[in-house]
Structure 1
């Protein structure tokens, strides 16, 4: 019997200790300390209700605020001052970071210095199109990449940005050292190419103009004009627009000089023919 009394006394002491951990006054604030493993908030009413606001206080006195509701207003997360929200979920579904009035489904106000994820995907409506932004790969200095997947699937269309050199490639992941590499067709209203060594030197007095006989021999031996790449070279290596325009202009200028020379010779022949006609008539 004595053992039973001792056990009842021990249980009563534990119950009294547990009750002193929590404070539930009839009026005022309720204090809950012992909530492990779960914390239940229950209203003594048949109404469902919702959480209007929660305030937590750190050891340094800083307040953290979680308040609002999704029924007719919004839900906010704030630190220090509930008038300065950090995260907002509006009643229309818009989410704002750093702004209390997001105008878009996701709006970020202030500087965004970085995103920790390696990739970000955007699905465009219900069409199945996807825009993917990733940090690329360390290989080849490819640190930024934008990929687009059209509706219906298929291969990704690439837009790659390289750090260091600032190279950009479209439709390929390897710009091969060029500032802009495009794997496909390019359409533009105007393209301006700056180049040096424009072939005005062809008209210099000391320029060695190739003879027509030399040009003819080169064409028979090589199958293309001197100084102009062959079809196989262009297929393998492409061509430089500025350099090729300069070479084509050089050939036009050389041809012009040959035409001027032939015109002068033709003029001389016409004069000689006129003199011969006069002598024959006499």
Structure 2
């Protein structure tokens, strides 16, 4: 490929309109004076590939930086020459850093870093409407990451996903957002957290009201065992406990189910207490009968 390197001091042609007091010294910097000064780099042939640009050199003649157009397409900044591209702009406006074939408006092949006051944001969409990525803080031990997106394009209803080293993981929303979180599913069915899969935890705390201490109240009507037996025969499950079909279809509320199970345990405790009292009474009656029998047998022996 033929290359045309046109340096300012050796420019083949240029256009300068207006003032004519341009300065092209043998040594030092050249100056073009005009209301809108422009320097034109034009080909003098239509044959072969071509390069139009400015090639800078060091004092020893080593190529330094190149700025210009390559063929009829991209504009590039290269280190050494035009072939060692560091920054590329295609005809469609795509900008590439570290790549000569950017596939998006901005395509970076490598690590991005940004910082400084009010410089920790990446926006998408209009101001206040759309989404943005935010890094909060520049301290490596305390920096947090936040992803935010607006809801319904109002700029007021939006959701935030945040990872903070002190506060941990959080998801919340303002306005009309419902703050629902789905893991493995997009249908939360109105619950704040819906998980389609297994969950493992060391500890789960559930806050609930209506804890069944009322079972031990004096006015609580304890179902008879006969009533419980009839319900089991008719329904196939304990009274107040959902059936297997209901659990399969609707699941269970952990707090509510624990309360129901505790209620059954408390009722069972009352049954056992009552049965223990009955057993004690039976034991006393048995001991009395055994004593009476012993006295009768002893009396019969004496009579013989």
Q: Normalization by structure 2: what TM-score?
A: 0.53
C-alpha displacement at 1:277, in angstroms? 2.1
Task: Give, in angstroms, the shift of residue 242 of structure 1.
Answer: 1.1
Residue 50 of structure 1: aligned partner? 64
Q: Give the unaligned 5+ runs of structure 1.
A: 1-14, 54-67, 76-88, 91-103, 121-132, 147-159
Q: 2:235 aligned with 1:184, yes or no?
A: no
1:255–1:37 Cα change, 3 Å? farther
1:30 deviates by 2.9
Q: What's the offset of the Cα at 1:34?
A: 2.8
Q: Deviation at 1:214?
A: 0.9
Alignment of 1:55-74 (within 5 A): none
Aligned pairs (5 A) from 1:154-193: 163=173, 164-193=177-206
Structure 1 position 211 matched with structure 2 position 219: no
Distance in structure 1 (CA, Å) of the matches to 2:149 and 2:16:
59
Shift of 1:162: 6.6
Name 2:38's counterpart in structure 1. 34
Indicate the SS of the match to 2:194.
strand
TM-score (norm 1): 0.57
Report if aligned partners of 2:159, 2:179 keep a CA contact under 8 Å in 1. Answer: no
The structure whose residues are more often helix, as a share, is 1
Cα distance change of structure 1 residues 253 and 43 upon mapping to structure 2, 3 Å threshold: closer
* Whole-angstrom distance in 2 between the partners of 1:260 and 1:272: 18
1:254 deviation in Å? 0.0
SS state at 1:106 partner: coil
Q: Deviations over 1:234-258 (max 9, x none)?
A: 1111111111111101000000000
Counterpart for residue 115 of structure 2: 109
Is 2:182–2:195's contact at 8 Å kept on the other side of the alignment?
yes
* 3-state secondary structure, aligned to 1:107: coil
Answer whether contact 2:55 2:63 (CA < 8 A) is retained: no
Q: How many residues align?
A: 201
Structure 1 residue 25: Cα displacement? 3.4
Cα distance in structure 2, aligned partners of 1:21 and 1:41: 23
Higher relative contact order (CA 8 A, sep 6+): 2
Range moving further from structure 2, 22-31 or 182-191? 22-31
- In 2, distance between residues paired with 1:233 and 1:220? 18
Shift of the 109–47 alpha-carbon distance from structure 1 to 2, 3 Å rule, reads: same
SS of residue in 2 equivalent to 1:50: strand
